[in-house]
Amino acid sequence: MKKNILTPSDKNVKSCVLHLEKEGLVSFPTETVYGLGGRVDLPKAVEKIFFWKGRPTSNPLIVHVYDFSQALDLFQWTHKEKEILEQLAKWAWPGPFTLVGLAKPFLANSLVTAHSPWVAVRVPHHPVALSLLKACQVPLAAPSANRWGHVSPTTADHVWEDFKERDILILDGGRCSVGVESTIVQWDGSSLNLLRWGGLDWVCIEDFAQKWGLKTQNLTTDISQKSQNLTLDVPGRSLKHYAPDIPCYMVTKSLGDKNADYTIRNLSHVCVLDYGQKLLPLADKVKSYFDLSVHQNPKEAGYQLFFLLRSLEKQTHIECLIFPDFSPHIQCQDKALFDRIYRACQGKKIFIGDFLSS
């Protein structure tokens, strides 16, 4: 299949718009990850997104728009709500923030919303995405451009690797600057509710809400309890998600840990993805060692995570990837990062003997 990776010239953006008009799909870069977009007003295009990704139809899509005025056409808000949420949009958009609200009738209970009354919307912070959305003049439903459950793509080549057999046009906007997906927040009419950790810190959203007199709730559950108690489905909440094509584990130091799923005695075919040098004693014992952020900067680590997972899964003779388990001392700013690592590992832990103490 021809490698349909295009430079984001005006000519190529127009070609993508025409492809979208014909119910085709276009992958485009955002600051978080690459999206796989189809027009929300073309049901066959939306169906392709689910089918080509292998995505359950119970999982809603995030709709990407050019600006707040375009978002207004999708939400069912009162005049008072519009005034409040316009301030939120001016503060958070464009950026890694997805707002969930009651959908207008034409979208409610559609495949885009997973047959729910809620729609998820965001304005991406990337010039290529915005140029495509502006040229298209129609919102694009766009989940991450990867196979369902696989590592999210942060380059155009990542998209092509997952969809090389499909007729998808890919706009190349370089490597994504954030590297993890957007934070998802629901406006339920009375409060802002956190549904998914992501690229915009929840603490910052809480500070904004306090300034404007809005209530907030954290509706995410403790991922380590493998509990999914949200009242509506949210992208990226499956236990196995963001996973490379090789096994991943979090390290436990205790042989008696009832959650240990695997034990290993030979580290010569193991790769380490560390965070804050927690597994540094293993560096000279494993096949390869990388630290997502020596200084435990979650932004730096988020930028590196998916890119390194994609790179390492291509290497040969790797038995598994291992991460530190920093959940006992997790800070709020680390939760988006830990969420991705935990799901890539499917919550599984590995015991590595006495290597950390030797």
Domains and CATH numbers, the chain: 5-225 (3.90.870.10), 248-351 (no CATH)
Please tell me the distance from the alpha carbon of residue 2 to that of residue 356, in angstroms, as a whole number.
47
Task: Check residue 182 and report its DSSP letter.
Answer: P
What does 259-314 look like in DSSP terms, one character per residue? TEEEE-S--TTEEEEESTTTTGGGTTTSSEEEES-TT--HHHHHHHHHHHHHHHTT
Find the farthest-apart pair of alpha carbons in the chain and give their distance in angstroms, rounded: 65
pLDDT class of 227 with cuts at 50, 70, 90: very low
Which uninterrupted H or E stretch holds 51? helix 43-53
pLDDT band at 255 (very low <50, low <70, confident <90, very high): low
The pLDDT value recorded for residue 294 is: 97
Tens of pLDDT, residue by residue over 105-131, are 999 999 999 999 999 999 999 999 999
Percent of the chain with pLDDT over 90: 81
Of residues 265 and 66, more confidently modeled: 66
Q: Are strands 320-324 and 5-6 parallel, antiparallel or unpaired?
A: unpaired
| Mean local confidence (pLDDT), 130-135 | 98
SS3 50: helix
* pLDDT at residue number 206: 96
For residue 138, what pLDDT band results from cuts at 50, 70 and 90? very high
DSSP state of 223: G
**What's the token pair of residue 93?**
């958009």
pLDDT digits (tens, 9 = 90+) for 268-322: 999 999 999 999 999 999 999 999 999 999 999 999 999 999 999 998 889 999 9
Q: CB–CB of 14/6 below 8 Å?
A: no
- What is the distance between the alpha carbons of residues 156 and 34, in angstroms, rounded to a whole number? 7
